[in-house]
Amino acid sequence: MTTKASSTKPNPADLNRTPLFSRHQELGARIIPFAGWEMPVQYSGIIQEHQAVRNAAGLFDLGHMGQVDVSGPDAMPFLQWVTTNDVSRLADGDAQYSLLPNPTGGVIDDIIVYRRPDADGFFVVVNASNRDKDVAWLHAQRAARSDLDLTVRDISPETGMIAIQGPLANDLVEGLSDVSLGDLPAFAWIAGRIAGVPAMIARTGYTGEDGFEFFTGIDDVVRLWDALYAAGSRVGVAPIGLGARDTLRLEARMPLYGNEMDDAVNPLEAGLGWAVKLDKGEFVGSDAIGAMKETGAPRRTVGFKLTGRSGSARSHYPVHCAGREIGWVTSGAMSPTLGENIGLALINREQAGVGKPLEIEIRGKLAPAVQVKTPFYKRDR
Amino acid sequence: MSAPSDLRFTKTHEWVRLDGDVATIGITDHAQKELGDITYVELPEAGDAVAQNQPFGIVESVKAASDIYAPLDGEVVERNESLLTAPDLVNASPYDDAWFIKIRLKDTAQVEALMASDAYDEFADDSAH
């Protein structure tokens, strides 16, 4: 047996560990190198962990993700310039999904922008794999905008981040919190204490379930994890690795940087036009994105299911239609919730449409597929 | 779990059970653990030839697709149809219910070069670190 995904093994000495590394080892996790970090890919098994999040709740170590503080009198106009979404729509304590565009309309990263509840500033969460690139880009943009008064600071080293996601998350966290969370809407955050640990509590996440992401001081994150795990493990809350994180976000059709988008994919092609607000005024890449909006995106990101018995569609597999190659798979997996092979593909717009057929090239053979509505999974409200 | 002492093993984590000139082939407990939840198995059909150290099938887990290598030269006499509909048997019963194929060997002496269970356990232990 040899796994086809070949990767060069990084030197473990070069890899970072989150404060929760020993917890993962104690929980029997398999650890892999990921974006410069040693992270758990699975504990009990990807399918079991996936189902724990759908049916109970799951606990995630997100210590590899990056956090950037953007504050000062001109923090908002700066973020309006470097992101695609409209930051002016955020009230104090609101959050929004957004993108860092490049000047040609590609995507540097996808991010969450949090407006601080009580201060003049913002907090931006970025992907681990893009943190250095994003921070360098933001500093360069900051330097280029000498007309603005603000500071950009990478606060990742001093910030801890974990998440709890799933139908039991709300009641569990409410029971440990000194602030009421019942009225906290999706994409909002407040300051509070969870089991005595001071944290920013955000109703955000990346699984398609209700739940929270917590930001703490780096030295508090183990205490918060232990409190959540102690209370949660009694009711079926499980630790969740990167493997299930990927299948959860795919079922919910949440994009993954490097799969659904990158420097050469326009947000309109990635199906992320909803996070681009061209009417807010000029921003990095707005000309390129606006021009594509005029003519229509030449490629579309579509959801599909494989209809025959075959292996899974996986990232970069070619997509065919009527004897022609028309694009590639951006993400694909056996869906643990549906028991079917699902995926997203970036294809020529002429062949895009729910119900239309596709063929996915899997190890040289064409597997029949049909385009379907997304998300593949939506929770009951 | 220690590898069963009546089997022989490859460095690519397949096992072989010899019965006369027919070899039953599967993947080891170590291999299924490394792969995680198995979601798909692709096998050759009866009559197909397999060649030593060449891929004869595929197993897929949630994370990845992996080649399965033939430990020996031979011709497929039977494949385990139940793996096609219940690939998770590979996780549940790697040495018994989840055999992959049976092949009629060209040369039963090839088996001698494969690892015994104690050598395989040591090898698998090392490759896990």
B39 membership: H or E segment, kind and range: strand B38-42
Q: What is the pLDDT of residue A381?
A: 65
* Burial category of B114 from C-beta neighbours within 10 Å (exposed 0-12, middle 13-18, buried 19 and up): buried
Vertex A223 angle, CA A189 and A211, to 5° = 35
User: Between A273 and B1, where is the model more confident?
Assistant: A273
Q: Tell me whether strands B101-105 and B22-27 are parallel, antiparallel or unpaired.
A: antiparallel
| CATH level 3 topology of A298-381 | Elongation Factor Tu (Ef-tu); domain 3 (2.40.30)
pLDDT at A120: 76
Domain ranges of chain B: 8-127
ipTM: 0.89
CA B128 – CA B36 distance, rounded (Å)? 14
Question: Would you state the torsion angle of the CA atoms of residues A317, A35, A82, A202, taken in this order, to the nearest 10 degrees?
Answer: 100
Distance CA A278, CA A203 (A): 27
Residues of B in contact with A314 (CB under 8 A): 65
CATH number assigned to the domain with residue range B8-127, chosen from the 4 options 3.40.50.300, 3.20.20.450, 3.30.1330.10, 2.40.50.100: 2.40.50.100
**How would you classify the pairing of strands A151-154 and A159-165?**
unpaired
The answer to whether residue A158 scores a pLDDT higher than 50 is: yes
A315 beta partners: none
Measuring CA to CA, how many Å separate A102 from each of A134, A255, A262, A301? Answer: 11, 18, 10, 20
User: Closest-CA residue in chain A for B63?
Assistant: A243
What's the rounded mean pLDDT across residues A97-101? 98
Q: How wide is the angle at C-alpha A242 spanned by C-alphas A378 and A112, nearest 5°?
A: 65
Answer whether residue A3 shows pLDDT above 80: no
Side chain identity at residue A310, one-letter code: S
Is residue B42 packed enough to be buried (19+ CB in 10 Å), middle (13-18) or exposed (0-12)?
buried
| pLDDT above 60 for B116 | yes
Instruction: Determine the pLDDT at residue A9.
Output: 59
List chain A domain ranges. Answer: 12-61+158-212+220-251, 298-381
In percent, the amount of chain A with pLDDT more than 70 equals 97
- Count the neighbouring beta carbons within 10 Å of the beta carbon of residue A16: 15
Rounded to 10 degrees, the C-alpha dihedral B23/B27/B28/B31 comes to 160
B84 interfacial to chain A (CB closer than 8 Å): yes
**% pLDDT > 90, chain B:** 94
Q: Is B14 on the interface with A (CB under 8 A)?
A: yes
**By CA distance, what is B41's nearest residue in A?**
A311
B42 → closest Cβ in A41, A47, A311: A311
With a cut of 70, say whether residue A278 has pLDDT above it. yes
User: Among residues A379, A315, A310, which one has the least CA distance to residue A343?
Assistant: A315
Q: What angle do CA B122, B125, B129 make, to 5 degrees?
A: 140
- Please answer yes or no on whether A1 and B68 come within 8 Å at the CB atom: yes
Q: What is the average pLDDT across A259-275?
A: 97
Say whether B37 and A363 touch across the interface (CB within 8 A): no
Token readout for A41 is 């890919």
If one looks up domain A12-61+158-212+220-251 in CATH, what number appears? 3.30.1360.120
Q: pLDDT tens digits, residue range A198-253?
A: 999 999 999 999 999 999 999 999 999 999 999 999 999 999 999 999 999 999 99
Bridge-partner residues for B17, per DSSP?
B24
Q: Check B36 against A310: CB less than 8 A apart.
A: no
Confidence of residue A111 (pLDDT cuts 50, 70, 90): very high
- pTM for the full model? 0.94
Interface of A with B (CB under 8 A): 1-5, 41-42, 45-48, 243, 247, 309-312, 314, 333-334, 336, 363
Q: What φ, ψ does residue A127 adopt, rounded to 5°?
A: -70, 145
More confident residue, A5 or A36: A36
Q: What percent of chain A has pLDDT over 90?
A: 95
Average pLDDT, chain A: 96
Chain-centre distance for alpha carbon A288: 24
Question: Are residues B60 and A311, on separate chains, in Cβ contact within 8 Å?
Answer: yes
Assign A69 a pLDDT band (cuts: 50, 70, 90). very high
Between CA B97 and CA B32 the distance in angstroms is 13
Gap from B70 CA to chain A (nearest CA, Å) = 10
Give the pLDDT band (50/70/90) at residue B115. very high
Q: What is the mean predicted confidence (pLDDT) over A41-51?
A: 97
Query: What CA–CA distance (Å, rounded) separates A215 from A163?
Result: 9
Q: Of the given ranges (A11-20, A30-39, A45-54), which has the lowest mean pLDDT?
A: A11-20
pLDDT greater than 70 at residue A61: yes
Q: B128: nearest CA in chain A?
A: A30
Nearest beta carbon to residue B37 from set A3, A45, A363? A45
Which burial class, exposed, middle or buried, applies to A248 when counting CB atoms under 10 A from its CB (0-12, 13-18, 19+)? buried
**Can you give the pLDDT at residue A14?**
85
A33 min Cα distance to partner chain B (Å): 14
Regarding predicted confidence, which is higher, A372 or A119? A372
Put simply, the answer to whether B62 touches A363 (Cβ < 8 Å) is no
Average pLDDT over residues B50-64: 96
Q: Which residue of A has its CA nearest to B12?
A: A1
Model confidence at A10, pLDDT cuts 50, 70, 90, reads low
Residue pairs spanning A and B at CB distance below 8 A: 62
| pLDDT tens-digit readout, A300-345 | 999 999 999 999 999 999 999 999 999 999 999 999 999 999 999 9
Residue B126 pLDDT: 83
* Cβ–Cβ contact B123 with A under 8 A: no
In whole angstroms, give the CA distance from residue A209 to residue A378: 8
Residue of A nearest to B32 (CA): A1
Read off φ and ψ for residue B29, nearest 5 degrees: -60, -40
Taking an 8 Å cut-off on Cβ atoms, the answer to whether A42 and B36 are in contact is yes
d(CA B13, CA A114): 48
Alpha-carbon distance A88 to nearest alpha carbon in chain B (angstroms): 40
pLDDT(A289) > 60: yes
Residue A328: count other Cβ atoms within 10 Å of its Cβ.
16
- Res A6 pLDDT > 70: no
Q: What is the pLDDT of residue A7?
A: 47
- Which residues in chain B are contacts of A42 at CB distance < 8 A? 36
Within an 8 Å CB–CB cutoff, is residue B46 touching chain A?
Answer: no
Average pLDDT over residues A85-104: 97
CA distances from A361 to A14, A18, A258, A320, A328 (A): 37, 38, 20, 7, 9
Identity of the residue numbered A75? A
